[in-house]
Chain A
């Protein structure tokens, strides 16, 4: 187990460097003239241009720039954005908001999808199952760029159930609507996986044994079936965290939430390399850690899996 853990961590380090390198390269390749973008319409004086070029090492070859950047990153220095703000400061404001949003979305998604998945798994072909199927199909068909403004228009502006935008330091209530929109991104697949898993486990031989042991239906399903059914669901939930982060870029943009996605969105638009790569680096670390935790959790949930 320990060796497996160490190997996974080492793999994670490699993944980290690979991913940041690619992101950095993409930003680099996409760059036309970030300094001009910064200045907008006005012409940029030559001496300013020269000073900034030196400051951001814009004249160096790509690999040297990457080296400079990584050196800073590894010593805990995220550098400054092209708008001259400390990126570490921006992060400490943005991350708590996004974590709140993602966790809220995750809770909403898990509560709805596990409950609905179990019920439709038990009563396959029943009215509940059919209605759930139709709803999941609609959710799957609607991309979040459509769903988010739609939800904002309907629940935020017309019905006024929730605030339409979240504001500078959003609390839980302001985040409910965006979190629900974000959750809808993963609910459909989570319901389908739970349903399939429950249905499959209900047919398993050990269920017959449990019934032959004179256990109540409640216990057979609530303990024996559920514990087995949740193994693939837990894995999926872990991996869905990635989807939520990606979805957050659009959701935070639409609902004006000053989180990671919001900053990334702005960074990409203004060709702000240091900003984008800094945020993505942390995202990569989150992904790697979550994946590792999911894999370790998998071994805890399913005793048949032992990592060597």
Chain B
């Protein structure tokens, strides 16, 4: 079994000293009848083993598209990757032939989706859907695969795993279903896990359990985790670093504590101010005025300029703000980041 695993793990050019995952200047567009929507416009990300990177942003900012591009499951057409590189341990996934790319999925990089009820196939038992991974990727027999599937359910702490293995997704509660999803993603021991809003569909107490389980499994396996969310509360507890996305760009990237203490981009700042706070009860909640830009017509200059309180003429004209180094390991795409972050130099 380990032999098969080792064999599959071999990717041409795999360099264990290279960075676990590195996304460089990724560009994705959707060619629709209504025009070309530029969903991702030069995204840079990186991830190390054991690290949790949170990608934060409103709906339609390109978080999920980035994840799908990394996984290679972008619907194409209409989605097309028009530039950039996604390197996994030095191997550019975008240059791999489809057959090898397919084997990267689940074996090296796996993904958890938002709504487990629709993400699991309704007509197959949980045992079939888990066991399928071992049968397809490891050539195991049905029986062995089933045994491994039961172990996986145990791993994600589903009670009475042996009895529940033949149940169908709709027979599980929301939290248990998301555990099944996690088990499925971790079945083949991937090195990178992408969780796309894993707790959005769950109620708050269950959310915490799922996040704890994810954190625990990540620690055990020293896995890199990309957590896509729009929930700043979830992020604060688990993430090491945050990348804030807006209109298909990372507008700010920083270690988690720094970003909460002193955001350097007006958008991040506005996001933080729009979190309801107990001590401000009764006051009007801060909201970000306006809507995210239509991706077929992103405004010139900084895409956030129509909604920004710091906007000046320079923000409305191309070129858009470059990536300013705010501090070591910290960047922001805002001409006036010093003003946003406060007068004293923002050091971590």
B118 touches A205 (CB 8 A): yes
B136 touches A205 (CB 8 A): no
Residues 168-207 of B contacting A (Cβ, < 8 Å): 168, 170, 181, 184
Cβ-closest 3 pairs across A and B: A214-B105, A205-B118, A214-B106
Contact of A224 among B71, B115, B121 (CB under 8 A): B121
- Please name the residue on chain B nearest to A213 by beta carbon: B106
B221 at the interface (CB under 8 A from A): no
Q: List 5 A-B contacts (CB under 8 A).
A: A212-B106, A213-B106, A214-B102, A228-B122, A304-B168
A301 at the interface (CB under 8 A from B): yes
- Please name the residue on chain A nearest to B68 by beta carbon: A208
Inter-chain pairs besides A206-B120, A303-B123, 12 sampled, C-beta below 8 Å: A208-B113, A210-B121, A212-B73, A212-B105, A212-B106, A213-B106, A213-B136, A214-B107, A215-B136, A231-B123, A303-B125, A303-B168
B104 at the interface (CB under 8 A from A): yes
CB-CB under 8 A from B106, the residues of chain A are 212-214
Contact with B along A277-308 (1 / 0, CB 8 A): 00000000000000000000000011110000
B133 touches A213 (CB 8 A): yes
A68 at the interface (CB under 8 A from B): no
B86 at the interface (CB under 8 A from A): no
Bound-state CA distance A212–B111 (Å) is: 7
With contacts A211-B105, A212-B110 known, is A303 near B133, CB below 8 A? no
With contacts A214-B106, A214-B136, A303-B170 known, is A209 near B122, CB below 8 A? no
Bound-state CA distance A301–B102 (Å) is: 29
- Please name the residue on chain B nearest to A304 by beta carbon: B170
A209 touches B168 (CB 8 A): no
Bound-state CA distance A233–B73 (Å) is: 28
CB-CB under 8 A from B68, the residues of chain A are 208
B124 at the interface (CB under 8 A from A): yes
Bound-state CA distance A209–B119 (Å) is: 6
A47 at the interface (CB under 8 A from B): no
B132 at the interface (CB under 8 A from A): yes
- Name, among B121, B125, B168, B184, the residue most crowded by chain A CB atoms within 10 Å (CB to CB): B121
Bound-state CA distance A211–B124 (Å) is: 16
Closest approach, in angstroms, between the C-beta of A47 and any C-beta of chain B?
Answer: 69
B137 at the interface (CB under 8 A from A): yes
Contact with B along A184-206 (1 / 0, CB 8 A): 00000000000000000000111
Bound-state CA distance A219–B181 (Å) is: 19
B118 touches A206 (CB 8 A): yes
Residues of A within 8 A of B (CB): 204-206, 208-216, 219, 224, 227-228, 231, 301-304
B119 touches A208 (CB 8 A): yes
Bound-state CA distance A210–B121 (Å) is: 8
B147 at the interface (CB under 8 A from A): no
- Please name the residue on chain A nearest to B106 by beta carbon: A214
Bound-state CA distance A205–B103 (Å) is: 20
Residues 308-341 of B contacting A (Cβ, < 8 Å): none
Closest approach, in angstroms, between the C-beta of B228 and any C-beta of chain A?
Answer: 14
Closest approach, in angstroms, between the C-beta of A65 and any C-beta of chain B?
Answer: 51
A206 touches B122 (CB 8 A): yes
A212 touches B71 (CB 8 A): yes
Bound-state CA distance A73–B164 (Å) is: 51
Residues 12-57 of B contacting A (Cβ, < 8 Å): none
CB-CB under 8 A from A211, the residues of chain B are 73, 105
CB-CB under 8 A from B104, the residues of chain A are 214
- Please name the residue on chain A nearest to B118 by beta carbon: A205
Contact with A along B71-113 (1 / 0, CB 8 A): 1010000000000000000000000000000111111001101
Bound-state CA distance A303–B133 (Å) is: 22
- Please name the residue on chain A nearest to B170 by beta carbon: A304
CB-CB under 8 A from B168, the residues of chain A are 303-304
CB-CB under 8 A from A209, the residues of chain B are 113, 119-121, 181, 184
CB-CB under 8 A from B136, the residues of chain A are 213-216, 219
B137 touches A214 (CB 8 A): yes
Bound-state CA distance A213–B188 (Å) is: 10
Bound-state CA distance A249–B107 (Å) is: 59
- Please name the residue on chain B nearest to A207 by beta carbon: B121
Contact with A along B262-285 (1 / 0, CB 8 A): 000000000000000000000000
- Please name the residue on chain B nearest to A206 by beta carbon: B121
